[in-house]
Structure 1
Amino acid sequence: MPISSQRRLRAALATLFVPLALAAAVAPDAALAAPVPKAAAVKPNAAFDAWAERFANDWVRMNPQLASSTQYFSGTEQAALDRQLTPQTPARRKQMVAVAKTGMTRLDKFLAGSLDETQRISALVMRWSLSNVIANEPFEDYNFVFSQFGGPQVGLVNFLTQTHPMRNAQDVDSWLARLEQVSTRMDEALARARSATERKLIPPRFILERAQYQVDTFLKPAASQNVLVASLEKRSAELKDLTPEARTAAIARATRIVEDKIRPAYVRVQGFMVELHPKTNDTAGVSRLPNGRAAYDRAIANFTSTSLTADEIHAIGLREVARLEGEMDKHLRALGFNEGSIEARMKALDATFQPKADEDPRPAILAKYKEMVKDAQARSESLFNLKPRAPVDVLREPPLTEASAAAHYSLPAPDGSRPGVFWVPLRGPKFDMIRMRSLSYHEAVPGHHFQLAIQQELAGIPKYRSQRIFSGGSAHSEGWALYTERLAVEQGWYENDVPGLLGALGSELFRARRLVVDTGLHTKGWTRQQAVDYGINVEEVDRYVVWPGQATAYMIGMLRIVELREKAKAELGPKFSLPAFHDMVLGAGSVPLDVLGQLVDGWIAKEKAKA
């Protein structure tokens, strides 16, 4: 891209951003509005630190799978938790809500007293997280229990094949102990799904069929060829303290467990899905369910951490779609793509980059993703002082979930045994080639990997924040990842790459369309086909159907981060440092948007006070 064109684009980006006045919509709770004090001579409250650590420990103990993914404890306690799968019972849900209410009461007392800056932020983040646990609980069954994204029929498999640590012979034994529990957890989920059905909380038929496909896929191979057994065979092959005899015995035991316990549990779920099929239809939105609008209002409050209404979010989406389509039209015309809608011209452009069909292109595409991430790490050097120590890898999405999966990121293991991973679905036969760079920036560097791996490594905040036991929600994390996509455009990373630039603008357009589609599906009676016709592929639409509100977090969070950055620029003038701003945002960990606004205000005041 010519330098003059790049300069024009930067100028356009600077003027096209219209403040959302989000500052007035990011205080859903009066307690969260309490100002974060300046680092004046407020002494740390030792009682708060002691209580918060105990509370966080108890919270993690209720979720053994969370304890394993974070390796939160050590020694015998961690080893014991590594042998358990988290219960899926109503009793466990009630227990968590009761504990959350107790925590809220205690936090309110601490917030009314004296806390230093870090403690107050920690208390606000904890309180926000716990308040959502309580407020969300009545609506948990509004998402299909066996959804194609988070259902136990895929969640338990992914956990055991990817997340459960496999470092030594003890981990194999713990893995087998967990394998013994899979059928129990599946039956618990099945009981929950039956209860939801009795309350008319039934998924659309096309969602049910996606989940049915996953269950059928799991059951197709014999037990000895099952994905769980195959994973154990592969992951245990290099363990130095596991003898060949012990490994053979472990694989044989796993095969028996799958055959005798797990496959029958999946067959029971399969039967339930067959029973449910004639009871449902293809109405997509959560408004189809009893009290569905209240469920959606709660979802967008949870995912955006704002008080924006569905109508306001819909309007923001329409505004951003128009802005981005106008910018893309100019670049498409410059490349000779003059006729048709933006979507049609983007598909035509992407078609010119499709790999040849004479051989499997997936290995080369995966290698290209790895190169893009490596290049992004080099480009990020001048924009970030704070960078993660943990490495990041790019892997193909596993077969069981690839048909429905979107690209995503998984955290590195705190003990260094597993890198951060950018997971890429490569379904084919067509591949989204021109958006590869923006997707790499979002999921890996400097997006989720910088944000989440750095948070895990932070030494200046409590462990329960660095491990995201209590966090600021999707608007902060997804907002940051989308912010880095825009940052790459602003910083000229697409110089001489107009197709790549269009891919980046198209990715942002996709997030703007999400605002329109998500609110359209759940509050305006949109059908699945209407959402597809608006420019969202069917796998994504189905994600929004089972995960109401989550898709709104990206654009709302990104716009708020940009708004705060522009505020800091305006107030600090020549004192503003972009790397310092990034360090401040990343160094705080995951916080709700209103707390982020308070942190930025405090940072601006500190920068002004410097000589």
Structure 2
Amino acid sequence: MPASRLRAAVAALFLPAAFATTIAAAVVPSAHAATPAPSAKAAVAPYKAFDQWADKFAEDWVRLNPQLATSTQYFSGAEQARLDRELTPLSPAYRKKVQDMARAGLKRLDGFAASPLDATQKISAAVMRWSLQNVIANEPFEDYNWVFSQFSGVQVSLVNYMTNTHPLRNAQDVDSYLARLDQVGTRMDEALARGKGAAAKGLIPPRFILERAQFQVDHFLKPAAAENVLVTSLTEKTATMKDLTPQARQAAIARATRIVEQKVRPAYTRVQAHLAEIHPKTGDVAGISRLPGGDKAYARALENFTSTKLTAEQIHNIGLREVARIEAEMDKHLRAQGLSEGGIEERMKQLDARFQPKGEGDPRPAIIASYNEMVRDAERRSASLFNLKPRAPVDVRRVPPLTEPSAAAHYTMPAPDGSRPGIFWVPLRGPTFDMIRMRSLAYHEAVPGHHFQLAIQQEQTGIPKFRSQRIFSGGSAHSEGWALYTERLAVEQGWYEGDVPGLLGALGSELFRARRLVADTGIHTKGWTRQQAIDYGMGVQETERYIVWPGQANAYMIGMLRILELRQKAQAELGDKYSLPAFHDLVLGAGSVPLDVLGELVDNWIAQQKKA
């Protein structure tokens, strides 16, 4: 791609000042969030009482959620081993316990408001407060999130957890797996009770969402117990386990088979009956506004996921403006590719058709291999842009069959003990594949996107463990905003030079995130139908994801625009003292923080650099 054209593409992508002003004004300030000290001279010694309380509170918070304890390997020894044998409850009593603890935590944070906290402690307090406030504010609306949604419902999340997250390293882990497997039926019944309670209040999903869940449950029940994924995954992962004798392995597989047959399958059958019972009561209206109190539930979701006070109407309008801007840029490049007839989406499909896999055989292994090479290439390209880099490796894998029909690409963090790498999960449903967006997706989910962000945070030693392990964090706007920012960064840094189709794929990915603002608010506040969102360019799986997860789709673009605004502010105020790798270190080194805390960090960093 000629340098002049690349510069024009990059210039067209920069954040218009009007958008920045809108978002900056709407960022929600954390109550009692004190600004970190602007210089070393103003710094104070750590306040030990806060650290002692915060560390203990975080530990108690993790103890409430054994699955979180396992995924983060938060403890060690006997305590970790005990938690590795438990599945997190889904009962009303458990939810009340979480709420009570969150309120107690906020009350104690109030007591530290006037304490002499140092800069790190102030950030930690603000992050904890933001997280706990959301736990409490979200509780009245929890049943608006259907417990059996096709995207992250209990019927799939428990299976994914058992087969992908629960560690199987040795004989003790096998015994823990069996103990947990014995609880799956109970957790499904707890979820069923919650689903029935929500249905009694009229909180039921649209019919097409219900039918997705029915398909998943039916798919789970189709094989006999011995062929169920909960048994076959255990069989596969214990095949080479050194401290497990052949006799013990066969006994474990036999016990797993009995548990699935006697407890797990009957629980899924009860869920199957419930779904069939409520099916006649469902309809085709997609948005949360169809539900009693749905407008308040959506407003809460927007604040939770964007960490701003932006209204649905404001977000809708930002989306429309961003769509127009990106489509104008894409039109130039599509015309240069000889594609001038039809809308942007139609022409992008024509371009993508040119790059579909050709030849006989299953192309999926080659696609996964290509993704892995793109990630390795991104690691090389990132070397000059980042001082902080993760030690943990990242791998690319295909999404498991149970969830692939409705899954989106996503990232899971590496195990802290090194037993599992960071994983970029790719759904490859076929028969066609989204080839020209592969690079931007690899940058978003892996390097330098979520893998850099989350693995670096996990490995940080300069922040408390409860922040490095994301026990308390800044939410989706920060994490998804960063991942989308890295897609933009790749364009700005010329990573697509000589690859105009790839550049169009990147622009198409950003357009997709801008359209999300329009479609999500359209579905949930403007009466958009499922088909309207699909016709707008969202795709079936993505549209249905937004329907069951209201508000989350807005986090990406809103978060990215805020990060860009803060970067531009730093560039403008620091001039020659500005360093892009240093800015990246600041954003990544603090871990996941709410957008208002990120703004404070950048302001103080600017002040420090000016004095340096």
TM-score > 0.5, shorter chain as reference: yes
Pairing 1:460-609 to 2, within 5 Å after superposition: 460-609=462-611
Q: Which runs of 5+ in 1 are unaligned?
A: none
> C-alpha separation between the residues in 2 aligned to 1:506 and 1:17?
22
Alignment match, 1:441: 443
Residues in 2 aligned to 1:118 and 1:7: alpha-carbon distance in whole angstroms: 39
For residues 388 and 26 of structure 2, the distance between their equivalents in structure 1, rounded to whole angstroms, comes to 30
SS across alignment from 1:394: strand
Q: 2:121 aligns with which of 110, 119, 122?
A: 119
| Residue among 300, 317, 330 paired with 1:315 | 317
User: In 1, Cα distance between the equivalents of 2:317 and 2:12?
Assistant: 21
SS at match of 2:406: coil
Deviation at 1:356, TM superposition (A): 1.9
The range that moved more, 499-508 or 5-14, is 5-14
Choose the corresponding residue for 2:373, options 367, 371, 375: 371
The alignment partner of 1:176 has SS state of helix
* CA distances 1:303-353 after superposition (whole Å, capped 9, x unpaired): 001111111000100000000000000000011000000000000000010
Q: Which runs of structure 2 are paired with 1:58-457 in the superposition (5 Å)?
A: 58-356=60-358, 358-457=360-459
Q: How far apart in 1 are the matches of 2:314 and 2:401?
A: 39
CA distance in structure 2 between the aligned counterparts of 1:609 and 1:29, rounded to whole angstroms: 27
- Match in the other structure for 1:30: 31
8 Å contact kept, 2:158–2:184: yes
Partner deviation per Cα, 1:57-104 (whole Å, 9 max, x = no partner): 100000000000000000000000000000000110011011000100
* Contact 1:111-1:120 at 8 Å conserved across structures: no
- Give distance in 2, aligned partners of 1:240 and 1:425: 33
Whether the aligned pair in 2 keeps the contact of 1:476 and 1:591 (CA below 8 Å) is yes
Q: How far off is 1:357 after superposition? A: 5.5
Between 1:506-515 and 1:235-244, the stretch displaced more is 235-244
Q: Which residue of 2 aligns with 1:8?
A: 8
Amino acid at match of 1:2: P
Q: Deviations over 1:111-159 (max 9, x none)?
A: 2321000000000000000000000000001011100111111011000
* 3-state SS of paired residue (1:166): coil
Contact 2:15-2:564 within 8 A present in 1 as well = no
CA contact 1:45–1:114 (8 Å) conserved in 2: yes
Q: 2:19–2:318: 8 Å Cα contact kept in structure 1?
A: no
Residue 317 of structure 1 contacts residue 514 of structure 1 at CA under 8 Å; is this kept in 2? yes
Contact 1:314 1:519 in 2 (8 A): yes
CA shift for structure 1 position 358: 2.3
Q: Aligned pair count?
A: 609
CA distance in 1 between counterparts of 2:540 and 2:215 reads 16
- Identical aligned residues as a percent: 74
In structure 2, what is the Cα distance between the partners aligned to 1:175 and 1:405? 25
Counterparts of 1:52 and 1:14 in 2: how far apart (Å)? Answer: 40
CA-CA distance at 1:4 after TM superposition: 2.2
Distance 1:419 1:15, change over 3 A: closer
2:24 aligned partner, one-letter code: A
Distance 1:41 1:603 in 2: 14
- State the alpha-carbon separation in 1 of the partners of residues 29 and 93 from structure 2: 29
CA RMSD of aligned residues (A): 1.0
Does the 8 A contact of 2:127 with 2:473 survive in 1?
A: yes
Q: For the residues of structure 2 that align with 1:30 and 1:388, how far apart are their CA atoms?
A: 32
How far apart are 1:109 and its partner, in Å? 1.7
Change (3 A) 1:294 1:15: closer
1:151-204 deviation per Cα after TM superposition (whole angstroms, max 9, x unaligned): 111011000000001110000000000000000000000000000000110100
Determine if contact 1:471/1:592 at 8 Å carries over to the other structure. Answer: yes
User: CA offsets, 1:254-309, max 9 Å, x none?
Assistant: 01110111001000000000001001101100111110000000001000011111
- Compute the displacement of 1:27 (Å): 2.0
Query: Which residue identity does 2:8 align to in structure 1?
Result: R
Worse-superposed segment, 23-32 or 223-232: 23-32
Shift of 1:24: 1.4
Instruction: Please give the TM-score of this superposition, normalised by the length of structure 1.
Output: 0.99
What is the one-letter code of the residue matched to 2:371? Y
Distance 1:17 1:340, change over 3 A: farther
Question: How far 1:18 moved relative to its partner?
Answer: 4.7
SS of residue paired to 1:73: coil
* Displacement of 1:214: 0.4
Q: Distance in 2 between matches of 1:110 and 1:319?
A: 43
Secondary structure of 2:425's aligned partner: strand
8 Å contact kept, 1:28–1:307: no
Cα shift at 1:525: 0.7
Q: In the alignment, is the contact (CA less than 8 A) between 1:16 and 1:323 conserved in 2? A: no
TM-score normalised by structure 2 residue count: 0.98
Alpha-carbon distance in structure 1 between the residues aligned to 2:500 and 2:251: 57
Note closer, same or farther for the CA distance 1:210–1:334 as it changes in structure 2 (3 Å cut).
same
